């Protein structure tokens, strides 16, 4: 693995490149798109494992931190959906040009899958995508993270004043992360059913559970001409907070194996 910075100052992004095994090089670049806020921290170990598995199978893999997140430049207040979508577009170009790959696959979890869709809609060179429980409705997502924040506050015995904000709040402090007014506005307007262009030739919609209904969105992708495959594999929702602290740091091996197999078969 090689770590480096890419992009243009003052918005340099931190990347971790996992080179393809030379004897298996498939001429395919894979970018892993992290979720946001606390979910990023909770899935990091699984994403490193996924990158390692894919590289061993001959894929050039890039993990990276969005602007204002992790080890990338910028402050916590700098990040928003538009900025992070542009970051992903930059990462795609970095991997394509740096490794001279002919094909690109995007794998995203939760809001990472949503950002992958927003970026892919702006391009014509994305072959395949794995959407791991994508966030389709931003308003529903805001309600969900507020609920998780309240559950976590109750479990940790925090004072009532810091348990969360009302539904009318325009500034949120969620699970230890600040959601700015700009990001909140973007989330409240987010609706993937408004997509007007197929993001990729082939898409795997990967689900852990039936808690979130994405059937309308999958039908919408098919209407746009996307070849959509769906898979539901039971495994811990490792990004969850609240009463699921036992999930923290877990690696859902069966889920990762299924994703790797699907990506391999897509480029066989």
Helix (H, G, I), strand (E, B) or coil at 76: helix
Q: What is the pLDDT of residue 209?
A: 65
144-147 LR contacts (CB < 8 Å, sep 24+) = 145/37, 145/174, 145/175, 146/172, 146/174
Q: Which residues contact 63 (CB under 8 A, 6 or more apart)?
A: 15, 16, 18, 31, 32, 34, 47, 48, 51
Among residues 154, 127, 163, 138, the alpha carbon closest in space to that of 36 is found at 138
Averaged pLDDT of the chain: 87
In CATH terms, the superfamily for domain 2-136+197-266 is: Alpha/Beta hydrolase fold, catalytic domain (3.40.50.1820)
Q: Is the pLDDT of residue 169 over 80?
A: no
Per-residue DSSP letters for 51-73? HHHHHHTT-EEEEEPPTTSTTSS
Domain boundaries, the chain: 2-136+197-266
Residues in the chain: 268
Q: Is the pLDDT of residue 166 over 70?
A: no
pTM of this prediction? Answer: 0.89
Q: What is the pLDDT of residue 189?
A: 96
Percent of the chain with pLDDT over 90: 66
pLDDT tens sequence across 37-52: 888 988 999 999 999 9
Distance CA 165, CA 212 (A): 23
Using the structure block, give the residue that is written with the tokens 């916590």. 76
pLDDT band with cut points at 50, 70 and 90 for residue 99 = very high
How crowded is residue 226: how many other Cβ atoms within 10 Å of its Cβ? 18
Percent of the chain with pLDDT over 70: 84
Q: What is the pLDDT of residue 22?
A: 84
Pick from 171-180, 186-195, 242-251: least confident: 242-251
């Amino acid at each position: 693995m090689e770590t480096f910075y890419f992009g243009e100052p003052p918005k340099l992004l931190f990347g971790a490149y996992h080179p393809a095994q030379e004897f298996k090089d498939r001429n395919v670049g894979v970018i892993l798109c992290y979720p946001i806020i606390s979910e990023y921290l909770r899935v990091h170990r699984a994403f490193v494992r996924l990158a390692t598995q894919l590289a061993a199978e001959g894929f050039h893999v890039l993990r990276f931190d969005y602007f204002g997140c992790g080890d990338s430049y910028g402050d916590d207040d700098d990040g928003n959906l538009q900025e992070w979508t542009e970051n992903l577009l930059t990462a795609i170009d970095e991997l394509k040009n740096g490794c001279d790959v002919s094909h690109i696959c995007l794998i995203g979890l939760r809001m990472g899958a949503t950002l992958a869709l927003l970026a892919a809609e702006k391009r014509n060179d994305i072959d395949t995508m794995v959407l791991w429980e994508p966030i389709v409705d931003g308003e529903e997502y805001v309600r969900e993270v507020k609920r998780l924040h309240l559950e976590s506050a109750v479990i940790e015995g925090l004072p009532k004043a810091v348990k969360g904000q009302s539904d009318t709040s325009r500034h949120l402090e969620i699970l230890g992360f600040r959601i700015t007014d700009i990001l909140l506005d973007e989330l409240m307007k987010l609706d993937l059913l408004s997509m007007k262009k197929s993001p990729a030739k082939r898409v795997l919609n990967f689900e852990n559970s039936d808690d979130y209904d994405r059937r309308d969105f999958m039908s919408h992708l098919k209407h746009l001409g996307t070849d959509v495959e769906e898979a539901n594999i039971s495994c811990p929702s490792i990004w969850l907070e609240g009463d699921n602290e036992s999930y923290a740091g877990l690696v859902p091996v069966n889920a990762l194996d299924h994703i790797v197999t699907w990506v391999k078969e897509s480029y066989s």
